[in-house]
Amino acid sequence: MDEQGAGRGAGLRRPRRPQRWRWRGRGYVLAGFAVLLGCLLAFHGAVPDALPGRPGSLLETFLPWLGLAVPLLAALAVLRRSAVAGLAALLPAAAWLALFGGHLLPGTDRAPDLLAVQHNVSDENPDPAGTARALAATGADLLALEELTPAALPAYAEVLAPQYPYHAVAGTVGLWSKHPLADARPVDIRPDGVGEGWNRGLRATARTPRGEVAVYVAHLPSVRLGPAHGFGSVRRDESAVLLGAAIAAEPADPLILLGDLNSTVDDRGLAPVTSRMEPPSRDFAFSWPASLPLARIDQVLTRSASVTRIRSLPATGSDHLPVAAHLTWRAPARGR
């Protein structure tokens, strides 16, 4: 070949092969993040809570939101054309679905035995009467309210009285009912060092057309979240122990607990309560903060009954959203 031909041949290039998903050399960092995320979801109980800031409880409070990282990891795996990262992203996806997939299922069409609404009405609510009218419009059988102040209580009582002739109040928590109430009494859930004027627990028997049901209303102490103290929940956890003991000693069934428990049912700090009760198996129904709901800290828990549907209601003058729950009995209630 002459020099001119050799020059032409030197300029030829092989056609580029199409890029393929690679098993080696790409995506191992992404895969590592995916495995870590899957482990956090599947084994969140292994994250220690004894460390400063109680990282275990903090993680569990916002656990569902870890699922947002799954589509991000999958998209990055596609961009990197990494098969190993793509397969690794299936791990947190499976863990999230195992924990929360049931929340996405539709509820039953069966008519509930009882409709209950739980709402922290806020002690800074500028329109208690308006909030009471919104709650009455739900048509619920039971209304559980927290942060009732002496100044606002008359407004709630006046507006709710026509539809809810029966009510009981203990300290800053109250229960309004369409059905007769009996055996109403305070429940002492005061943590250590809190004076006798602090009362956030109530127990009553509601005599419904479907039978008698024990109803507890509770407002556990607030947690403190910040860089100085992390997830400060000591008092809330102490109060949860006392509430759990009261529920364990309660002989009546079915039993309903309505309240602002200041965390989600996944938080191990509420285990003294949640281990004795059944949480809703469907629907997220985030209730706090009202402006951008990130968690459901307003709870409706049951024993010998089931919550077949729970949903958030439109905002009132509170920093919480009300939540409405459909309840059915597992067996006929007493007093039928």
Pair (42, 164) in one structural domain: no
- Asked if 132 and 156 touch (Cβ cutoff 8 Å), the reply is yes
pLDDT tens by residue, 226-251: 555 556 788 999 999 999 999 999 99
For the entire predicted model, the pTM comes to 0.82
* Residue 207 pLDDT: 97
Which stretch, 14-23, 156-165, 325-334, has highest mean pLDDT?
156-165
Locate tokens 């109430």: which residue? 181
3-state secondary structure the chain: CCHHHHHHHHCCCCCCCCCCCECCCCCHHHHHHHHHHHHHHHCHHHCCCCCCCCHHHHHHHCHHHHHHHHHHHHHHHHHHCEHHHHHHCHHHHHHHHHHHHHHHCCCCCCCCCEEEEEEECCCCCCCHHHHHHHHHCCCCCEEEEECCCCCCHHHHHHHHCCCCCEEEEECCEEEEECCCEEEEEECCCCCCCCCCCCCCEEEEEEEECCEEEEEEEEECCCCEEECCCEEECHHHHHHHHHHHHHHHHCCCCCEEEEEECCCCCCCHHHHHHHCCCECCCCCCCCCECCCCCCECCEEEEEECEEEEEEEECCCCCCCCCCEEEEEEECCCCECC
CA distance 310 to 283: 6
Predicted local confidence at residue 268, as pLDDT: 92
Q: Which of 70, 104, 138 is the last residue of a domain?
A: 104
pLDDT (mean) for 7-25: 54
Residue 4 has a pLDDT of 54
Q: Which residue has the higher pLDDT, 57 or 100?
A: 100
- Domain end, chosen from 69, 104, 139, is at 104
pLDDT of residue 263: 92
Q: Which residue has the higher pLDDT, 110 or 234?
A: 234
| Residue 65 sits in the same domain as residue 177 | no
pLDDT (mean) for 134-144: 98
- Least confidently predicted of 21-30, 43-52, 90-99, 322-331: 21-30
Show the domain range for 151: 114-329
Clarify whether residues 55 and 180 are in a common domain: no
Same-domain status, 64 and 128: no
Q: What is the mean pLDDT of residues 245-263?
A: 97
Give the confidence band of 282 by pLDDT, cuts at 50, 70, 90.
Answer: confident
Same domain? For 54 and 100 the reply is yes
What's the whole-number mean pLDDT along residues 63-81? 91
CB atoms within 10 A of CB 160: 21
**What is the rounded CA–CA span in Å between residue 63 and residue 69?**
12
Contact 264, 60 (CB under 8 A): yes
> Is 204 part of any domain?
yes
Q: What tokens were used for 251?
A: 């002989």
Q: What average pLDDT does this structure show over 288-305? A: 96
Percent of the chain with pLDDT over 70: 87
Kindly state whether residues 309 and 209 are assigned to the same domain: yes
Query: Is the per-residue pLDDT at 91 higher than 90?
Result: yes
pLDDT, position 55: 83
Question: Are 32 and 163 part of one and the same domain?
Answer: no
β pairing state of 181-186 and 201-208: antiparallel
* The total number of structural domains that make up the chain: 2
